[in-house]
Chain A
Amino acid sequence: MKQKREKEHPASWREQIRQAVTEMDVPAYAFMDVPRIEMTGSGRLLMERHHGIVEYGEQRIRIAARGMTVCITGRRLQLQAMTHGEISVTGDIEAVQLNKEEDKEC
């Protein structure tokens, strides 16, 4: 019965890669298009593998990534630098929120 269900709904190739990568103990961001967020204290945030800016303001910045939106809230937020693969945000960061549904407001 279980085998029949697997045949009907096979795991997606992305899921299979994710499982393989997890088993090999290799960082997921090395193979998959998942965002990598690095914070230095509460004054700087570096995000790799973004999909663009959704909203940009001094109190809130929303950045799109695969399957989620990263919402950064705080004061005097500033986009320090932005390239195709990376975004650097500086300011007084109060919260970083991940929204799995892309359209959901933070």
Chain B
Amino acid sequence: MLMQCVNFVRGSVRIAICGAGLERFLNICAANGIAFWGVRRISEERMEASVRISGFFALRPFARRCMCRIRVLGKYGAPFYGKRARRRYTLLAGMLVCGILLYVMSGFVWTIGIEGCSSVTPAEVLALLEQNGLGVGTRAGAVDVHKLQNTILEKDARLSYLVINIKGSHAQIMVRERENTEGAIEGDEPCDVVADKTGVVEKLIVRSGKAETEVGKTLQDGDLIASGTMVSQQGETWLVQADAEAQIRTWPTVRLALSDSLDEAVETGRQTTRWAVVIGTKRFNLYPVESAPYACYDKKVEKKTLSVSENLRFPLTLVSETYIELERRPLSVSEERCSETLHARLLDMLTRQAGCLSVTELGYTFERQEGRWLAVLEAECLERCGVQVPLGSAVPRQP
């Protein structure tokens, strides 16, 4: 394959050699440094072979010496194609313009990828970038990456880390968000630990501070678990940063309701595809009518961006939108299936609750009330409990 490419670039000539001393001719050629390949014996006095252009011109004296005749069968390779295209001025101009365009356009940012977003949306990061001078169509060389990173981090306090990598025409943005530390105690500031849930204490670990509750006791939201105010036997008081963790048993109840008259969307089998082209940030619709083709539909959007490699992408995107017509039909669901679905969803809701360690189900009821299905799940959970609050902010519990 590699040799084929090299031969194409250098150019080759396919020749037919006729005469009596064909072997002698081959030997003389080889001895004089004329390389040839693809030798094929056609008959006793005829042979075909391929030689390079330079070798072809050196062949003639040896052919005469061996009483052989050489006939050209074909010319292949870039030099011959180039010669043929020499007078096709429009083609050459097109190639030149294409090359210049490619060079110029590869100096701009055409695609921006953002990763690492969780609470901050990619659209917000894009807007921030655009406000500070990096958007689709910005010249890559004009972007001061370090300055831009610092500016964005200063402007948006939610971001703790931002990296901009511009490779070719693609800008890759990596974002890390600041953890929510609202209300958290900083450094060694003295504090108390209070309950943030209601339940019975199953396990208590106090790492620093004075324990204010014990296993088996009931905790209510706001009750003191560990105090940061410690008094010694000598009556001295000193303040510490309390650190404690309690595991409590809770009995949460979750409810879900479902209407007994349900509809389902069924595909009618009809669908329409619309095409659009996005150049840079401008969208050009390739369809005359703007309105949606059906009253009720599902839409699938596919985008194909023109790119040579991962880092060299062009601002040309082909968008295809497929509208699938849907029809609403009443759905008949059995009571049993409805009950199973609601039960699964209720269990899912319970396990998603923050701090929930394990769920032990107690009871599940499913009944029809006022034209709807009502499902109630009463469960027993083990949950983590305890948050740090500034000293003295715990509400004293009424006896």
* Interface membership of chain A positions 13-55, coded 1 if the CB is closer than 8 angstroms to chain B and 0 otherwise: 0000000000000000000000000000000000000001111
* Interface membership of chain A positions 65-103, coded 1 if the CB is closer than 8 angstroms to chain B and 0 otherwise: 000000000000011111110000000000000000000
Q: Which residues of chain B in 27-43 are interfacial with respect to chain A, using CB atoms and an 8 Å cutoff? A: 27, 29-33, 35-41
* Interface membership of chain B positions 61-87, coded 1 if the CB is closer than 8 angstroms to chain A and 0 otherwise: 000000000000000000000000000
Task: Assess the B23–A55 pair: CB atoms within 8 A.
Answer: yes
Contacts of B39 in A (CB 8 A): 56, 78-80, 82
Closest-by-CB residue of A relative to B39 is: A79
- A–B complex contacts, Cβ < 8 Å, 5 sampled: A53-B26, A78-B39, A79-B26, A84-B30, A84-B32
Task: Assess the A81–B23 pair: CB atoms within 8 A.
Answer: no
B: which residues have CB within 8 A of A? 22-23, 26-27, 29-33, 35-41, 47
Contacts of A81 in B (CB 8 A): 35-37
In whole angstroms, what is the CA distance A57 to B44 when docked?
8
Contacts of B40 in A (CB 8 A): 78
Give the Cβ gap from B308 to chain A, nearest Cβ, in Å.
35
Give the Cβ gap from A54 to chain B, nearest Cβ, in Å.
7
Contacts of B30 in A (CB 8 A): 52, 82-84
In whole angstroms, what is the CA distance A52 to B29 when docked?
10
Contacts of A56 in B (CB 8 A): 22-23, 26, 39, 41, 47
Task: Assess the A82–B23 pair: CB atoms within 8 A.
Answer: no
Contacts of B35 in A (CB 8 A): 81-83
Q: Size range of the interface on A?
A: 10 to 19
User: 10 shortest A-B CB distances, which residue pairs?
Assistant: A52-B27, A79-B39, A81-B37, A53-B23, A82-B30, A83-B35, A56-B23, A84-B30, A53-B26, A57-B41
Task: Assess the B22–A80 pair: CB atoms within 8 A.
Answer: no
A: which residues have CB within 8 A of B? 52-58, 78-84
In whole angstroms, what is the CA distance A18 to B38 when docked?
36
Q: In the complex, how many residue pairs between chain A and chain B have their CB atoms under 8 Å apart?
A: 43
With beta carbons under 8 angstroms apart, the residue of A54, A58, A83 that contacts B23 is A54
Task: Assess the B37–A80 pair: CB atoms within 8 A.
Answer: yes
Answer whether A53 and B27 are a contact pair too, CB < 8 Å, given A82-B35, A83-B35, A84-B33: yes
In whole angstroms, what is the CA distance A20 to B161 when docked?
72
With beta carbons under 8 angstroms apart, the residue of B27, B29, B32, B38 that contacts A80 is B38
With beta carbons under 8 angstroms apart, the residue of A54, A58, A82 that contacts B41 is A58
Contacts of A83 in B (CB 8 A): 30, 33, 35
Q: Which residue, of B23, B29, B32, has the highest number of chain A Cβ atoms within 10 A?
A: B23
In whole angstroms, what is the CA distance A54 to B37 when docked?
18
Closest-by-CB residue of B relative to A52 is: B27
Could you list 5 further interchain pairs (A-B, Cβ under 8 angstroms) beyond the known A52-B31, A80-B38, A82-B26? A56-B39, A82-B35, A82-B37, A83-B30, A84-B30
Give the Cβ gap from B62 to chain A, nearest Cβ, in Å.
13
Contacts of B47 in A (CB 8 A): 56
Give the Cβ gap from B1 to chain A, nearest Cβ, in Å.
14
Closest-by-CB residue of A relative to B29 is: A82
Answer whether A82 and B36 are a contact pair too, CB < 8 Å, given A52-B30, A52-B31, A57-B41: yes
In whole angstroms, what is the CA distance A52 to B26 when docked?
8
In whole angstroms, what is the CA distance A79 to B49 when docked?
9
Give the Cβ gap from A77 to chain B, nearest Cβ, in Å.
9
In whole angstroms, what is the CA distance A18 to B205 when docked?
88
In whole angstroms, what is the CA distance A78 to B22 when docked?
14
Contacts of B31 in A (CB 8 A): 52, 84
Contacts of A53 in B (CB 8 A): 23, 26-27
Q: Which residue, of B30, B32, B38, has the highest number of chain A Cβ atoms within 10 A?
A: B30
Contacts of A78 in B (CB 8 A): 38-40
In whole angstroms, what is the CA distance A80 to B37 when docked?
5
In whole angstroms, what is the CA distance A53 to B23 when docked?
6
Contacts of B41 in A (CB 8 A): 56-58
Give the Cβ gap from B19 to chain A, nearest Cβ, in Å.
13
Closest-by-CB residue of B relative to A86 is: B30
Contacts of A84 in B (CB 8 A): 30-33
In whole angstroms, what is the CA distance A84 to B30 when docked?
5
Contacts of B37 in A (CB 8 A): 80-82
Q: Which residue, of A54, A57, A81, has the highest number of chain B Cβ atoms within 10 A?
A: A81
In whole angstroms, what is the CA distance A89 to B138 when docked?
58
Contacts of B26 in A (CB 8 A): 52-53, 56, 79, 82
Q: Which residue, of B27, B33, B35, B36, has the highest number of chain A Cβ atoms within 10 A?
A: B27
Q: Which residue, of B26, B33, B38, B39, has the highest number of chain A Cβ atoms within 10 A?
A: B39
In whole angstroms, what is the CA distance A82 to B30 when docked?
6
